[in-house]
Structure 1
Amino acid sequence: MLPRVLLFSALLSPSLVADAGEPLPWVELSADGKGFQQVPSGRPFIPWGFNYDHEGDGRLLEDYWVDQWPKVAEAFREMKSLGANVVRIHLQFGKFMRSPSEPNRSSLDQLKKLTRLAERTGLYLDVTGLGCYHKQDVPTWYDQLSEEERWAAQAVFWEAVAKTCSASPAIFCYDLMNEPVAPAGKRKSDDWLGPGFGGKHFVQRIGLDRKGRERPDIARAWIHQLVGAIRKRDQRHLITVGLVPWSLDRPGLTSGFVPTKVADELDFIAVHLYPEKEKVDEAIETLKGFAAVGKPVVIEETFTLKCGADELRQFFEKSRPYATGWIGFYWGKMPDELRPVKTIPAALTLQWLELFQELGPEMKAGNNTP
């Protein structure tokens, strides 16, 4: 393995950094509405990349992107060297808002700095917002807001982020929230966050009380308000929302974000799918349900979490007719840093990164077969 300093130097080579004389092309929906393209060339663009949601020690981006900026820059170059063209970042509401109406200027400035890094590195950003992953970092005043007040504060967040990012070609999309859930049942909930996973809360409720409303109607109204906030400042970049696989209108657990009922104002569908062992075909059937909306589908989260690399490979191959983008995970360690494997998490991560490198050229080339 190369010493860290030599690796960092290697990643600065011209082949891995965008040419300063050639601005990063913008990305928009393709003319047929089935995928994405770069403009003005019209070259197809297929998202293939990583969630950079935290480092290996569990710290979120805002916890270290000021004091340890070189770590962030190095991670971006490493992800580029692995073959990524998209990086999904997760912005925490509590780090970007000082009050319901006052954005945090220093955080917005750091986000601007990150967009410039992405431009230089030749990577596009999937900007996911409104995160409350670390419950201890959620402002007390935020949890005390009513639904109407909370949505208004979220709109302020998105208007500020869109204003900051609107001029950058490095923005692939804005993702309104990671795995939102509309209120369910007849009884009022008392917690805006879903159950924790690995010390983080990835699922978030957009309301605590149905108040007699249909769940998809609540989701549509929420999407409409936040899309409107973004479009005040940015009419060009794509907008989506990260959906759990149980968003489909099927018996059992549902999120209320039924794709066919809430997608009108979204540019494409983003779904999080982790195929299970010996259930790859079931995952494909779920994917087909999201593709039925008729808009491009990006698998915004996937990983060797519930199956091995061989079955994840099968999932990628079988998903190609229905998806036009795939995003896994990167947590700050390159394959050589994971060898020799000493833990199960390291083994899973290594399998994933090796598969990502192997399939990258083929997946980014497109040629999906309907």
Structure 2
Amino acid sequence: MNLSAFVLLTACSLLTAAIPAIRISEDGKGFVRSDTGEPFVVWGFNYDHDESGTLIEDYWDTKWDEVVGDFQEMKSYGANVVRIHLQLHRFMDSPDQPNAESLKTLERLVKLAEKTGLYLNITGLACYHKDMVPDWYNNVTEEQRWKIQAEFWENVAKICAAGSAIFCYDLMNEPVLPGNKQESDWLPGEGFGGKHFVQRISLCLNGRTRKQVAREWVDTLTAAIRKHDKDHLITVGAIPWAHTWPNAKPLFYSDEVAENLDFVSVHFYPKKDKAQKALDALAVYDIGKPLVIEEMFPLSCSIEQMDEFIEKSRPIAEGWITFYWGKQLDEYKKDDGLAEMIKKAWLEYFIHKTPEILDSSRDVMP
């Protein structure tokens, strides 16, 4: 099937009835549709900001038609999951007071996902813009901060519990813990575009092990969600430290921490000519639960090498999520520059790869 025909065929099925919930398979190693029991492979996009870097909550009220168009476009490209990133300060006006308007828009987004036939990976507690983090969240103790985080998740879960389009709740994007010294900042440092994608869950271990702190934090937030939503899956988007230090072991996905996490989520950006190193690191996170590569992009390697990583990860991975920033294929121009042409080529690859990924009967490489 050529590229145009595939996009047209997918676009014709955009408006769907309520979609079935996704559950863990009986053997605990994959995902299945709750209505038929058929395998479900995650294939989708992070939809965190637009082409200019503006976060979704900063424009979804005034540019809702663009959001609708982006969801339709992502569906037409073959995606079945969209990962959104919710900023804490947009959803909480104070430590115990949620923002009703943001929650209302989130509910609207859930309905859009259901209508479009896409599942949502709802990643929360983001503080990507450091200068927007309120003092009542930043200048607090660990106990107070976790209480605010639990309040955030309770309010989100109330909205999403009945939604058929919820794939999962991701407790936080790339949480980290301190070493053996007292830290002073919840946000360790800037990432791409001046955003703070990494967040500490504690500033001091206070005699506890890192696994003890991680387990207590995970259990606190999962309990907040389970007060209102007993069914939808829960995960944590982890940095794969084994990719940097080959002898590193999982923290959030260790036996001591991961009991209440339904599946593994890790973020991988393979380096040029080092796909095997990334695969070796990925194997560390094969702990008997479904595994999703929640972020991926040919940032430091070619598309061909990224494809090698995806293909060779298929024996242990149950999903892959890349990025979509609201720019459609026909909007890319030859004079946009190299970076834009890479994005265009990657979108074309995503579309071509979709039938292979979603064909669960296809043999995968050992």
TM-score, normalised to structure 2, is: 0.93
Instruction: Please state whether the residue corresponding to 1:300 is helix, strand or coil.
Output: strand
2:351: which partner in 1?
357
Q: 2:81·2:121 contact (CA, 8 Å) conserved in 1? A: yes
Check if 1:295 corresponds to 2:292: no
Shift of 1:258: 5.0
Corresponding residue to 2:57 among 59, 62, 75: 62
2:3: which partner in 1?
none
Shift of 1:247: 6.3
CA distance in 1, matches of 2:340, 2:266: 25
TM-score, normalised to structure 1, is: 0.92
1:168: which partner in 2?
163
Shift of 1:11: 8.3
Instruction: Please state whether the residue corresponding to 2:241 is helix, strand or coil.
Output: helix
Instruction: Please state whether the residue corresponding to 2:172 is helix, strand or coil.
Output: strand
Runs of 4+, deviation exceeding 4 Å? 10-14, 247-256
- Number of residue-to-residue matches in the alignment: 358
Instruction: Please state whether the residue corresponding to 2:259 is helix, strand or coil.
Output: coil
Shift of 1:259: 3.5
Shift of 1:92: 0.2
Check if 1:30 corresponds to 2:25: yes
* Correspondence 1:271-282 to 2 at 5 A: 271-282=266-277
Check if 1:18 corresponds to 2:15: yes
Q: 1:181·1:256 contact (CA, 8 Å) conserved in 2? A: no
2:299 counterpart letter in structure 1: L
Check if 1:321 corresponds to 2:321: no
CA distance in 2, matches of 1:335, 1:14: 14
Q: 1:129·1:176 contact (CA, 8 Å) conserved in 2? A: yes
Shift of 1:306: 1.1
Check if 1:102 corresponds to 2:97: yes
Cα 1:229/1:12, change in 2 over 3 Å: farther
Any stretches of 5+ residues in structure 2 without a counterpart? 1-6
Q: 2:10·2:76 contact (CA, 8 Å) conserved in 1? A: no
CA distance in 2, matches of 1:263, 1:27: 20
1:16 counterpart letter in structure 2: S
Check if 1:259 corresponds to 2:231: no
1:269 counterpart letter in structure 2: V
1:17 counterpart letter in structure 2: L
CA distance in 2, matches of 1:154, 1:323: 29
Cα 1:304/1:249, change in 2 over 3 Å: closer
CA distance in 1, matches of 2:69, 2:301: 30
Q: Which moved more, 1:249-258 or 1:238-247?
A: 249-258
CA distance in 1, matches of 2:245, 2:215: 18
* Correspondence 1:124-143 to 2 at 5 A: 124-143=119-138
2:218 counterpart letter in structure 1: I
Instruction: Please state whether the residue corresponding to 2:194 is helix, strand or coil.
Output: coil
Shift of 1:18: 2.9
2:319 counterpart letter in structure 1: G
* Correspondence 1:205-216 to 2 at 5 A: 205-216=200-211
1:120: which partner in 2?
115
Check if 1:348 corresponds to 2:342: yes
Q: 1:162·1:230 contact (CA, 8 Å) conserved in 2? A: yes
Shift of 1:336: 2.0
2:298: which partner in 1?
304
2:106: which partner in 1?
111
Instruction: Please state whether the residue corresponding to 2:348 is helix, strand or coil.
Output: helix
Shift of 1:324: 0.3
CA distance in 1, matches of 2:245, 2:208: 19
Q: 1:248·1:259 contact (CA, 8 Å) conserved in 2? A: no
Check if 1:79 corresponds to 2:74: yes
1:241: which partner in 2?
236
1:3: which partner in 2?
none
2:315 counterpart letter in structure 1: P
2:13 counterpart letter in structure 1: L
Q: CA RMSD in A?
A: 2.1
* Correspondence 1:121-200 to 2 at 5 A: 121-185=116-180, 187-197=181-191, 198-200=193-195
Instruction: Please state whether the residue corresponding to 1:259 is helix, strand or coil.
Output: coil
2:154 counterpart letter in structure 1: E
CA distance in 2, matches of 1:139, 1:12: 46
Shift of 1:369: 5.3
Instruction: Please state whether the residue corresponding to 2:167 is helix, strand or coil.
Output: strand
CA distance in 1, matches of 2:317, 2:348: 21
Q: 1:247·1:257 contact (CA, 8 Å) conserved in 2? A: no
Q: 1:181·1:257 contact (CA, 8 Å) conserved in 2? A: no
Shift of 1:284: 0.5
